[in-house]
Amino acid sequence: MPITKFTLSIVALLLTVITCNSQSSNDILVGAGFDLIKTDYNHFGNKLQVGAEANYFVVRHFAAGAGLELWTHHPASFTMGMRYYPLDNFFVRFRGLIGANDVALGGGWAKPINEKLRFEAIGDFYFGQTEFGIRAGIAYVIKNKNGQ
């Protein structure tokens, strides 16, 4: 499928760019995004899935988070999960979706725009629905006042 190869090419290209602008312990990352592509989409614009979340960095490379997912064809879901950053701009996330009764495992890349604002690209696999989605979003870092 041409759109799948195109999308994978874009994601691969985005993942090759790495810059250093990391978060610290006790920072809060607030973000929102929407699914550009999901395997259950029949055609563009038929369904929409958006999400917002806040993540608290317990330590520099690990954050616990909660958020809300909204779909055009399903009820809203509360999410709880975690992010692990093996590198400053790459992360793995695991989330439980309460309401959709699903679990998602994904990975992402965050491109800093400036010290506090970043673009995020995320891929998630939903185990209950056996679906895969690619999400784009924006996130804002609320820095720790203690300056660790």
Q: What span, in angstroms and rounded, lies between the C-alpha atoms of 42 and 55?
A: 32
Mean of pLDDT over the chain: 83
pLDDT of residue 45: 63
Beta strands in the chain (DSSP E): 28-38, 49-59, 62-71, 77-87, 90-98, 102-112, 117-126, 131-142
Q: Which amino acid is at 64?
A: A
- Domain 2-142, what architecture? Beta Barrel (2.40)
pLDDT of residue 103: 95
Higher-confidence position of 16 and 24: 24
Q: What is the pLDDT of residues 100-143, one digit of tens each?
A: 899 999 999 999 999 999 999 999 999 988 889 999 999 999 98
Q: Evaluate if residue 37 carries a pLDDT over 90.
A: no
Q: What is the mean pLDDT of residues 59-72?
A: 94
Q: Evaluate if residue 81 carries a pLDDT over 60.
A: yes
pTM for this structure? 0.77
Q: What is the mean pLDDT of residues 44-73?
A: 90
Burial group, residue 4, by CB count within 10 angstroms (0-12, 13-18, 19+) = exposed
The count of residues in the chain is 148
Percent of the chain with pLDDT over 90: 58
Q: Evaluate if residue 12 carries a pLDDT over 50.
A: no
Q: What span, in angstroms and rounded, lies between the C-alpha atoms of 26 and 124?
A: 26
pLDDT of residue 17: 34
pLDDT of residue 22: 47
Burial group, residue 2, by CB count within 10 angstroms (0-12, 13-18, 19+) = exposed
Higher-confidence position of 73 and 81: 81
